[in-house]
A = this chain, B = another copy of it.
């Protein structure tokens, strides 16, 4: 191919070769300059940058990746909708950390066991990401085995107690969180309490399971008998609108042999739906029943809901920071970290027996 041809053929794309020719250096030098190598003269660097600038040159990630073996891409795998409060928060936090380091994020979401298994099975041989952040899954033995076979760094988010297979993990300390909530209720004089949640059977998504256990454990520590600290849960497993679920749970709550005077609810969303349903039955919160949610999403503030706060954005930042360390070959001093949730006091909790009673 002669020069005339090369020049006319370059109609499609500006390549590193164009920059090299423009700057009068080799492709290797352009590459070195663009990657901030110190082994380039200031003068050369100047010329290269100028040439790149004037040609509006952008590196082809694909070509770079293929040649270097690094993709500069991080996989973010989560369960359920990408736009959920939790997932979107983690994604945002991770982006904040990765963006300045010039890593792209590839978000992916799976909605069922089968999909998840397939995805994880493809991980060991996939060369489309340098690392993976995996969020909010209930782990299983086979899943952990597959994860162990993955050669790239993997960090788990919100998968506490199941850190096998992960190089690192961040999560929240459900036990401490529930403990604080239960202690608050005890201090407010509530003698009968309950934990309200959706179906309890093992699910793909990590959430209520551990919190439920944490609630029972905290209650025991605080001196509640098993009759005075109960679980109120949906007794079937069909997905349904949250309002319907709340109504179903409200029935169980109100019909309890010994009705609790305070409840902790799995999530803010469910807590608010429950409160609405109760208010429809003229049960007042907090006069007749104290309610504590979980998450401190924006809706908790809007509904003046007392809740246990977790911060998915910070979880995402921490996970990303660990990924970066791992990618640099560092061994983490503390690979598995747990954040302590705090209780945010608002208007749905109150001292027992001090509202007008029914």
A58 and B122 contacting across the interface, CB-CB below 8 Å: yes
A91 and B95 contacting across the interface, CB-CB below 8 Å: no
- In the complex, whether A281 has a CB less than 8 A from a CB of chain B is no
- In the complex, whether A121 has a CB less than 8 A from a CB of chain B is yes
Q: Which residues of B contact A199 (CB under 8 A)?
A: none
Binds B, one of A1-9, A38-46, A102-110, A327-335: A102-110
Q: Which residues of B contact A104 (CB under 8 A)?
A: 106
Residues of A in contact, count (CB < 8 Å):
50
| Interface members, chain A 296-311 (any B CB < 8 Å) | 297-303
Give the nearest-CB partner of A105 in chain B.
B107
User: Do A302 and B272 contact each other (CB < 8 Å), given the known contacts A62-B66, A62-B127?
Assistant: yes
Distance to closest chain B CB from A250 (angstroms) = 17
- In the complex, whether A81 has a CB less than 8 A from a CB of chain B is yes
User: Do A107 and B127 contact each other (CB < 8 Å), given the known contacts A88-B88, A298-B269, A313-B83?
Assistant: no
**Bound Cα distance A88, B89 (Å):** 9
Q: Which residues of B contact A169 (CB under 8 A)?
A: none
- In the complex, whether A114 has a CB less than 8 A from a CB of chain B is no
**Bound Cα distance A126, B93 (Å):** 26
Distance to closest chain B CB from A258 (angstroms) = 30
- In the complex, whether A206 has a CB less than 8 A from a CB of chain B is no
Give the nearest-CB partner of A70 in chain B.
B62
**Bound Cα distance A71, B81 (Å):** 24
B107 and A62 contacting across the interface, CB-CB below 8 Å: no
| Interface members, chain A 79-107 (any B CB < 8 Å) | 81-85, 87-89, 91-93, 95, 99, 104-107
| Interface members, chain A 109-160 (any B CB < 8 Å) | 109, 121-122, 124-128
Give chain A's interface residues, CB within 8 Å of chain B: 13-14, 55-58, 60-63, 65-66, 71, 81-85, 87-89, 91-93, 95, 99, 104-109, 121-122, 124-128, 269, 272, 297-303, 312-313
23 A-B pairs in the complex with CB atoms less than 8 angstroms apart? A14-B125, A55-B125, A56-B124, A57-B125, A58-B126, A60-B127, A60-B128, A62-B62, A63-B66, A82-B88, A83-B92, A83-B93, A83-B312, A84-B88, A85-B298, A91-B107, A99-B108, A99-B109, A105-B107, A106-B106, A107-B107, A272-B302, A299-B302
